[in-house]
């Protein structure tokens, strides 16, 4: 979070996490494709030769004013592949909110659980209390046959109050709802933190 009272700037960082190939980059691509080009920057992607996320994807959005401040929302993804654990941790640094993109395939429950636990380990190693960071879960690929239900995912990840949003990111379903939900939670959290 970066606040400049003189310039009335409020910059927030939201990170999309989740297992490999769950649709984190697809979320940013969909947002990028649908936003007015005047109100967003380029989509920056640091990829491997195989088109997989190497370090992060990045996209900045400019929202309208909220009570005099102009929020700028910076969206990042982490690399999902296990091999890139070290860089995944670095992207989480300074995050104001997290969208965990889970894969609804029943075969990938274990990967979801591992990525879910992994992000908390990283937060703790960065000195961040995971309880204090707004976090939502996007249950992506709901169009798959036998897609995991919200109730099953809640049990698998042992979710308490975190919102769960069903999505088919490749068709943009649930993408903006997830974005709206996390921005809402983050701004409420900012208000609590600075007052």
User: Between 133 and 157, whose beta carbon lies closer to another protein?
Assistant: 133
Reference 70, options 129, 166, 5, 118; nearest CA is: 5
Which one of 20, 21, 35, 170 is in contact with another protein (CB under 8 A)?
35
Task: Looking at residues 74 to 103 of the shown chain, list those that interact with another protein (rule: CB under 8 A).
Answer: 74, 76, 86-87, 90-91, 93-96
Which one of 60, 118, 149, 152 is in contact with another protein (CB under 8 A)?
60
User: Between 34 and 48, whose beta carbon lies closer to another protein?
Assistant: 34
User: Between 11 and 162, whose beta carbon lies closer to another protein?
Assistant: 11
**Shortest approach of another protein to residue 141 CB, angstroms?**
23
**Shortest approach of another protein to residue 18 CB, angstroms?**
19
> For residue 118, how many other CB atoms are within 10 A of its CB?
17
- C-alpha angle 102/72/52, rounded to 5°? 40
Task: Looking at residues 102 to 161 of the shown chain, list those that interact with another protein (rule: CB under 8 A).
Answer: 127-129, 132
Question: Measured between alpha carbons, how far is 158 from 12 in angstroms, rounded to an integer?
Answer: 27
Reference 139, options 110, 105, 113, 172; nearest CA is: 105
**Shortest approach of another protein to residue 60 CB, angstroms?**
4
Question: Measured between alpha carbons, how far is 32 from 26 in angstroms, rounded to an integer?
Answer: 10
**Shortest approach of another protein to residue 138 CB, angstroms?**
16
Are 142 and 168 in contact, with CB atoms under 8 Å apart? yes
Torsion on CA atoms 153, 158, 164, 166, rounded to nearest 10: -10
CA torsion through residues 104, 107, 108, 114, sign: positive
Binding site for another protein (CB under 8 A): 1-7, 10-11, 13, 34-42, 44, 46, 55-56, 58, 60-64, 66-69, 72, 74, 76, 86-87, 90-91, 93-96, 127-129, 132, 176, 179-180, 183-184, 187-188, 190-191, 193-195
């Amino acid at each position: 979070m970066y606040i400049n009272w003189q310039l009335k700037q409020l910059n927030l960082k939201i990170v999309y996490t989740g297992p490999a190939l769950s649709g984190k980059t697809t979320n940013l691509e969909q947002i990028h494709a649908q936003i007015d080009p005047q109100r967003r920057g380029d989509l920056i992607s640091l990829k491997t030769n195989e088109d997989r996320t190497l370090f992060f994807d990045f996209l900045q959005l400019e929202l309208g004013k909220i009570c005099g401040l102009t929020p700028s929302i910076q969206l990042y993804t982490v690399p999902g592949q296990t091999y890139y654990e070290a860089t995944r941790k670095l992207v989480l640094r300074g995050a104001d909110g997290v969208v965990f993109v889970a894969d609804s395939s029943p075969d990938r429950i274990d990967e979801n659980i591992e990525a879910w636990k992994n992000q908390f380990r990283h937060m703790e190693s960065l000195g961040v209390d995971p309880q204090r960071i707004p976090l939502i879960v996007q249950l992506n690929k709901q169009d798959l046959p036998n897609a995991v239900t919200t109730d099953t995912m809640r049990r698998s990840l042992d979710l308490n109050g975190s919102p769960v949003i069903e999505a088919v990111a490749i068709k943009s379903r649930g993408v903006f709802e997830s974005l709206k939900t996390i921005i809402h939670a983050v701004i409420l959290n900012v208000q609590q933190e600075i007052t």
